[in-house]
Structure 1
Amino acid sequence: MITLKNITLRRGAKVILDGASATINPGEKVGLVGRNGAGKSTLFALLNGSIHEDGGDFSIPAQWRMAQVAQDMPETDESATDFVLAGDTALAAVNAEVAAAEASEDGERMAHAYMALQDVGAHDAPARAQALILGLGFQNPELDRPVNSFSGGWRMRLQLARALMAPSDLLLLDEPTNHLDLDALVWLEAWLQRYAGTLLVISHDREFLDAITNVTLHIESAQLKRYGGNYSRFEDMRAEQLALQQASYSKQQDKIAHLQKFIARFKAQASKAKQAQSRVKALERMEKIGPVLAEADFTFEFKEPANLPNPMLTLQGVSCGYPSAEASAAPTTIVRNVGKSVLAGQRIGILGANGQGKSTLVKTIAGDLKPIAGEIVQGKGLAIGYFAQQELDVLRPQDTPLEHMIRLARDTTQAGRLSGQSTREQDLRSYLGSFNFTGDQVKQAVGSMSGGEKARLVLALLVWQRPNLLLLDEPTNHLDLATREALSVALNEFEGALMLVSHDRALLRAVCDEFWLVTRGGVLPFDGDLDDYQRYLLEEAKRQREAIKASATGQAAASVPAAAATAPVVNSPLNASSTAKPVPRENNRTRQMRKELEQCEARMAALSQEKQGIEARLNANPALDEIQRLSTRMAALQTELDGVEARWLELGNALEAAT
């Protein structure tokens, strides 16, 4: 087990833990929680050996193998599969021993090495690595792509897959869901539920913690407190304890006041001096119960919209995608022929597997992308508030929150919008204060702020504009649990319409009353709830794993010598079956058509897979030059696919006529 006894831990002058104690038993799945800055990541650094305790005793079993997600951005031209496969350190060590044994020409050593290779699962290791990669949202064509061809968020997914690939007894995960979509998150949840080792995870996703943890370790006031149960159970138990502590504190304060009153009244009287002195000693011996110092709640609200057009907007045969880099080439279409209306008061959650076009649809509605086809008709007075995934990157790092607010107030005033809003600097300071930007923080450069602080600033800018339609694309990525709860409350009280893309299921459940599913190039109503959608995603992940295993088995079978594979079976009772039906003879022309038909089907599958990979890359917001290159390739793929499909139909009709 992991033991921490009277641990003192410092970071610079700050005391993170002061005489803290806790134990973690083998096989437990522990959620490490606490407010931002409490020391969760510092405790991880102690566990992984990056730092050492300043006092007390810390022990972890020496034989335990530990895995965690590397925080550096990988720069390598290795394929995604090879990069993740290298995370299996046991396999790498055995491979090295096999090479050394073969070089030594020691037969006995080679035999032991080959047996060890079997023991570490070398036969299916590539399939296991690829199952991890696909589970985290990659597409089949991306399995062999170089790591450095992916954007930062996708490389961090590969780092996560590499950590999961490593054999481990202890797995440390610090915010593993930050770069994941809902489909990848559901898959990761299922994987961690099956994990047999000891798990410690830091996360601000309460449903994720509820699903995978059975112990909660809370850091507060430089102490560690262990709770049996997941995050929701921890909240319930802590609320009960705080209520009990407050009652005990109030009762003790009454007793202290009574004792102090007696002392003050009788300490000068000789006849009562002895009793008064005993009261003084009783006060000194009393173990003081601290008051409940609850964390300050963060709340905000959306102001009432100036008007509520109905419908808010209507999509008439809209196709969404990306323009081609070349004027003569066709644009890249991701979602086709969307015909829907958004009504006042609607609260729509947008679901869909990675790469299907959720963000592309939202960008098109927001106006960041022009429709490739069709028309978006906006209601009179429509005011869109858009929170994009990359919104934090749009903030000016050198500017302060106050400078951002002043610029927004100036721009909206010049545009003739929000005439009722005050633009006085003091009022803007007060407004930022309502989003916890107080004192000198309003003049702190945004570039030096945390991701959570930047996200709060984006929310402040959004709320100030008084939108009547909110388009939110993964708004919770950098928000802590308290801010997520505040956002949920504010959205529930928002009087306008809402469209939300998020992997935070607690937020989706709390604020959405209907769902759209973006799939197979279209947008459909999803009649089920989030539990139904999770089951669908898990079934898809299972199907992908089985396909990978089947492919690996097929490759192994293909490695059998051709002579053995094609040798006739003599005296087989199966060959002697008298019920076998004669195979009809085919002429050369029919055989040729069937062969070409199979080639068309294989080519269509390959082209479709490559298209899915490009669509996923486009949805990851790559650089402009890459968008242009990918769009050009996508247009060429679509042209070829159209031609192959036409030939496939032609061959199918010809064969049907011939038979």
Structure 2
Amino acid sequence: MIQLRNITLRRGTKVVLDGVSTTINPGEHVGLVGRNGAGKSSLFALLAGRLHEDGGEFLLPAHWRMAEVAQHMPETDEPATDFVLDGDSRLAQLQQALAQAEASGDGMHIAQLHADLADAGAHDARARAQALILGLGFGVQQLANPVNSFSGGWRMRLQLARALMCPSDLLLLDEPTNHLDLDALVWLEAWLKRYAGTLIIISHDREFLDATTAVTLHIEHGRLTRYGGNYSQFEELHAQQLVLQQASFERQQEKIAHLQSFIDRFKAKATKARQAQSRVKQIERMEKIAPVLAASDFTFAFQEPANLPNPMLALSDAAFGYRNEAGQSTTIVADVNRTVMAGQRIGILGANGQGKSTLVKTIAHELAPLAGRITEGKGLRIGYFAQQELDVLRPDEDPLQHMTRLARDLGTDAPAASREQDLRNWLGGFNFSGDMVKQTVGSMSGGEKARLVLAMIVWQRPNLLLLDEPTNHLDLPTREALAMALSDFDGTVLLVSHDRHLLRAVCDDFWLVGRGQVGSFDGSLDDYQRYLLEESRRLREAARLQEQPPASAVTATPSADPREARRLAAQARQAMAEKTRPLKKELAQLEQRMDTLTQEQSELQERLALTLAPAEIAEAGKRLKAVGDALQHDEERWLDLSEQLQALEAPLVD
């Protein structure tokens, strides 16, 4: 297990952890949460061995293998599959040793190394590496592409796949969803749920944390507090704790005031001096309860639009895509006929690479439509949040320069001096205070850049918001502020996001971009997640069929007699039913047992969050471990049976 005993950790002059203690048990999936700057990355650096404690004792089992995502951008022309495969350092060492043994002709060593390679999973290592790459959104045709042929975000996905490829007892993931679309995020969630080692995640995606963690560590004001439960359960427990703390503080203050009143009245009287001195010592011995300090959460609101044209815009027989320098066009979506009405809140869904960002960029005038017509309502004013903030920011300028240019472009007629003060006040409302208004954008964090873009958008008083992954660099409080502001916005919203909490909070309608089309999606986000998994399965099956040799003419020739063909088809279906019936029966039993175990797991986690006797804690912890092991075993069996069932039924799918 991982143990922190009275740990103190400093970064420069700042104390980020002050005498904290906690334990992380083997196999636990932990979410590490706290405000930006609270010390989450510093704790990760301590766990990874890049930082050392300034006080206390940090214990990590010496035999544990650790994996984390490298933060540097890989620059290599190595094929993507080989790059990810090299993440299994044990396998790479064995293969290198085998080459040396074969060169020296050491037969005994060669035999031993072949056995070691079999134990290390060499027989299916390449297939596992490719499954990771495909799961994170790459296409089959990209498996052999050089790493440096991909953009930065895609290379970071390869770094993530490389970390997942590495056999590990401890996996550290710092914001793993930042470069992922919703389809890859859903796949990653499923993979992490099956991960058998100890997992610690920093993430600002609450639904991702809820799905992948069962313990939460909260960093605040140098303290580290452990909560049994995922992020939503932590929020509830933490809120209850704050209410109790404030009530206890107020009761203590009343008691201190009562004692102090007695001291002030009778300290000068000889007959009461002893009692007064006793009360002074009583106050001194009292363990002071800290008040709950009001957190300065970031909040903002969109201004009421000057007008609301209806419809906002109409897309008629439109085609969207790109033109190269030679003028040749690549169409991604075509035959788009959609109307956007005033007040609509539309979430734009679609698997990676299907054209979501292309659609938004075209509506935002960043790209020209390849065909058709986009008709805008009179008085349409667009506020556009680009997926890459630097698409609309200038790295060598500061926030005040950005706002001054924006005010000038919008025709603000106020005197320069008063306008600058107004702009400073405006930026202050987005947490750019003091010298921060003069800090160059290139030196800012991702969250600061995102807040600057929001400040510029709100200033423009738009009636149509186009938001392309606006939460990528926002912490949880800022994401909540954005969700609240969008909920109160009177205009129209088109939102592309992998943050399901934001999509649920904001959007009433969904568009689905896929297979070259844009259509309505009539269903919930849960339905969409199931659609993504089915679409991923369909693409894998299509790729598998492409690799298979064509069937022989004999097997491809249909029966000449239609009645005989129907009889044979009925026999095939009956035989298939006989094969699949026991699998389906066991799957149903597993699902029922997994539901029961999940419920028991939640009840045990809630119980462990209470104040219990040591014996009860030990008993509940032991049972929680047993339930977790049983649940993991059943989940693995369920996945195995599902794959068997899919393989059996695949030949019958038209």
TM-score, normalised via structure 2 length = 0.82
Q: Distance in 2 between matches of 1:496 and 1:117?
A: 61
5+ residue gaps, structure 1: 556-579, 585-659
- Which aligned pairs between 1:15-414 and structure 2 lie closer than 5 A? 15-327=15-327, 330-413=328-411
Bigger radius of gyration among the two: 1
Provide the residue aligned with 1:512 in structure 2: 507
Amino acid at match of 1:31: G
Q: Distance in 2 between matches of 1:60 and 1:541?
A: 38
Q: Distance in 2 between matches of 1:97 and 1:121?
A: 16
| C-alpha deviation, 1:200, in angstroms | 0.4
Provide the residue aligned with 2:582 in structure 1: none
Per-residue deviation, residues 123-163 of structure 1 (Å, max 9, x unmatched): 21111111111111111111111001111111101000000
| C-alpha deviation, 1:336, in angstroms | 0.2
| C-alpha deviation, 1:582, in angstroms | 13
5+ residue gaps, structure 2: 559-654
Change (3 A) 1:159 1:50: same
Q: Distance in 2 between matches of 1:309 and 1:53?
A: 60
Say if 1:130 and 1:548, in contact at 8 Å, map to a contact too: no
Amino acid at match of 2:7: I
Q: Distance in 2 between matches of 1:37 and 1:274?
A: 49
Change (3 A) 1:298 1:583: closer
Per-residue deviation, residues 285-316 of structure 1 (Å, max 9, x unmatched): 00000000132121111111000000000001
What is the aligned-residue RMSD (CA, Å)?
2.3
Provide the residue aligned with 1:497 in structure 2: 492
Amino acid at match of 1:77: D
Say if 1:401 and 1:445, in contact at 8 Å, map to a contact too: yes
Provide the residue aligned with 2:471 in structure 1: 476
Change (3 A) 1:423 1:366: farther
- Matched residue SS, 1:76: coil
Q: Distance in 1 between matches of 2:471 and 2:17?
A: 28
Say if 2:15 and 2:222, in contact at 8 Å, map to a contact too: yes
Q: Distance in 2 between matches of 1:285 and 1:56?
A: 26
Which of the residues 449, 474, 484 maps onto 2:444?
Answer: 449
Change (3 A) 1:403 1:582: closer
- Matched residue SS, 1:271: helix
Change (3 A) 1:104 1:549: farther
Q: Distance in 1 between matches of 2:137 and 2:531?
A: 15
Change (3 A) 1:390 1:583: closer
- Matched residue SS, 1:18: strand
Amino acid at match of 2:440: A
| C-alpha deviation, 1:583, in angstroms | 8.4
| C-alpha deviation, 1:428, in angstroms | 1.5
Amino acid at match of 1:442: V
Larger mean CA deviation between 434-443 and 254-263 belongs to 434-443
Q: Distance in 2 between matches of 1:456 and 1:202?
A: 21
Provide the residue aligned with 1:595 in structure 2: none
Amino acid at match of 1:374: G
Amino acid at match of 1:450: S
Say if 1:131 and 1:544, in contact at 8 Å, map to a contact too: no
Q: Distance in 2 between matches of 1:193 and 1:223?
A: 28
| C-alpha deviation, 1:36, in angstroms | 0.7
Change (3 A) 1:400 1:265: same
Q: Distance in 1 between matches of 2:376 and 2:555?
A: 66
Q: Distance in 2 between matches of 1:335 and 1:480?
A: 33
Amino acid at match of 1:200: I
Q: Distance in 2 between matches of 1:346 and 1:391?
A: 25
Q: Distance in 1 between matches of 2:509 and 2:20?
A: 46
Per-residue deviation, residues 339-372 of structure 1 (Å, max 9, x unmatched): 0100001100000111110011111111111111
Amino acid at match of 1:331: S
Amino acid at match of 1:36: N
Larger mean CA deviation between 93-102 and 471-480 belongs to 93-102
Say if 1:187 and 1:541, in contact at 8 Å, map to a contact too: no
Per-residue deviation, residues 445-493 of structure 1 (Å, max 9, x unmatched): 2222211011001000000100000100000011110110000000001
Q: Distance in 1 between matches of 2:517 and 2:442?
A: 39
- Matched residue SS, 2:410: helix
Q: Distance in 1 between matches of 2:417 and 2:216?
A: 45
Provide the residue aligned with 1:11 in structure 2: 11
Provide the residue aligned with 2:533 in structure 1: 538
Per-residue deviation, residues 411-460 of structure 1 (Å, max 9, x unmatched): 1107x9xx9x9972222111111111122222222222211011001000
| C-alpha deviation, 1:540, in angstroms | 3.3
Provide the residue aligned with 2:644 in structure 1: none
Say if 1:209 and 1:231, in contact at 8 Å, map to a contact too: yes
Q: Distance in 2 between matches of 1:160 and 1:110?
A: 33
Amino acid at match of 1:361: L
Amino acid at match of 2:506: V
Per-residue deviation, residues 4-31 of structure 1 (Å, max 9, x unmatched): 0000111111111111101000000000
Amino acid at match of 1:143: L
Provide the residue aligned with 2:419 in structure 1: 424
Provide the residue aligned with 1:640 in structure 2: none
Amino acid at match of 2:396: Q
Q: Distance in 2 between matches of 1:60 and 1:401?
A: 44
- Matched residue SS, 2:177: coil
- Matched residue SS, 2:21: strand
Say if 1:127 and 1:549, in contact at 8 Å, map to a contact too: no
Q: Distance in 2 between matches of 1:233 and 1:410?
A: 48
Change (3 A) 1:549 1:161: farther
- Matched residue SS, 1:8: strand
- Matched residue SS, 1:413: coil
Q: Distance in 1 between matches of 2:6 and 2:168?
A: 27
- Matched residue SS, 2:451: helix
Say if 1:392 and 1:455, in contact at 8 Å, map to a contact too: no
Change (3 A) 1:413 1:422: farther
Per-residue deviation, residues 543-573 of structure 1 (Å, max 9, x unmatched): 5566778999x79xxxxxxxxxxxxxxxxxx
Amino acid at match of 1:378: E
Amino acid at match of 2:409: D
- Matched residue SS, 1:515: strand
